[in-house]
Copies of this chain bind each other. A is one copy, B any other.
Amino acid sequence: MPTIKDVALECGVSINTVSSVLNNKKGEVSAETSRRVLEVVRRLGYRPNAAARGMTGKRSYTIGIADRYSTLDAPDQYKAQILEPLTHAVRSAKYDVLYYSGHPEKIGGFPAFLDGRSEGLVCFTGSIPDEEIAAIKQSGLPIVFIAEPQAQDIRQSSAYVDVENEKGGFLATSHLISLGHKRIGMIQGFGVSGNLDRLAGYRRALDMAGIPFNESLLYPEIAWEQSPEDAVQTMLRQPVDERPTAIFCFNDVLALATMTAAQQAGIAVPEELSIIGFDDLPTAAVANPTLTTVRQPLSQIGKRAVEILIGIIEGQIPSDYHEILEPELVVRGSTAVARIFN
């Protein structure tokens, strides 16, 4: 690859002159010289080296995506739904997108996200360990979280985009209650504070309906991830008048796994067990039966995250700006009127 020196030599001018031409320093270079330089630049196919420019404080117009790599990494519809509009928005703003592989082994134990190549970061909260989140925050790099960070101090001082989780949990649970269900289970997620809010919404809906909260109907995510079949079996082993007739899963992936496991165990969905998810992934609409769920506006989340980040980078939006979007109940085929004895 030719360097600025090659161009200067070929033109018989100094490298400063070439640099001035390329950076549009108006009035500092004669039209004639400028023309000649540009011609050589074109002929040689010269392109300023981004690393060298970066060293001199030039902007890179690059936005990084911070997401932790994992070898288990299955195709993740949740992220894919966010990433597409996100990338699109970045490109529309004429920035580049750097998607870090996020592999921890790469250099020491430090998040590569801070390697100076990006002017700002969109961070998938749920997939980054808290200590790295703290390090990223501390660096002062502009950042927008997708889903609110767990730690309160970080949350308050950070920009993030999220759905109103408490309301989502409330909508889901209220829907089940409106169908006559009284023993409503919940599969709880961990790791992100949004999941606690979904639980809070679940409890508020029960309260409002005068249904006492029953801790034994709360199932931890972990068991379901390891083996949904076993978890369902365990749940069904409870006496008929104690087991749930409906279950609210903190996300669609788990809801779908639960549905499959229940069907394999001979439990009809929704006739014997109503299931409601959260997210509204594309798969939810084509599952069998189709999955009732609480919709997150994922594409809006991706788009807004970028717009806010660029706003912060360019100084028009405060760095602790948050945006909370509305969840929406999407009723489909996996929930039905309660039929089993209550």
Contacts and interface: CB of A to CB of B under 8 A. Distances in A.
Interface of A: 1, 22, 38, 41-42, 45-55, 61-62, 69, 71, 73, 75, 80, 83-85, 87-88, 90-103, 105-112, 114-117, 135, 138-140, 282
Contact of A96 (B54, B87, B98): B98
Nearest to A70: B91
B55 A116 contact: no
Contact of A114 (B47, B54, B83, B107): B47
Contacts of A85: 75
Nearest to A99: B97
Given A45-B139, A117-B51, A103 B94 contact: yes
Given A48-B107, A49-B115, A108-B22, A73 B101 contact: no
A62 to B, nearest CB: 8
A75 B87 CA distance: 11
21 contacts: A1-B139, A38-B108, A42-B109, A42-B110, A47-B116, A51-B52, A51-B116, A55-B55, A62-B98, A69-B94, A73-B88, A75-B88, A87-B99, A90-B101, A94-B101, A96-B98, A96-B112, A97-B97, A97-B98, A98-B98, A117-B117
A49 B115 CA distance: 5
Contact of A100 (B38, B96, B103): B96
Nearest to A138: B45
A53 to B, nearest CB: 8
A48 B112 CA distance: 9
Nearest to A115: B50
Contact of A73 (B45, B47, B73, B92): B92
Contacts of A87: 83, 99
A91 B97 contact: no
Given A47-B115, A94-B103, A108-B41, A75 B84 contact: yes
B88 A95 contact: no
Contacts of A88: 73, 75
A326 to B, nearest CB: 22
Contacts of A73: 88, 91-92
A48 B107 CA distance: 9
Contact of A110 (B47, B97, B105): B47
Nearest to A135: B45
Given A45-B139, A75-B84, A22 B98 contact: no
Contacts of A55: 49, 51-52, 55
Nearest to A71: B92
Nearest to A54: B51
A100 B54 CA distance: 16
A101 B91 contact: yes
A93 B45 CA distance: 31
Contacts of A112: 47, 96
A115 B51 CA distance: 8
A55 B73 CA distance: 32
Nearest first, the 4 A-B pairs at minimum CB distance are A51-B54, A50-B115, A97-B99, A47-B114
Contacts of A48: 107, 115
Contact of A47 (B95, B102, B107): B107
B108 A99 contact: no
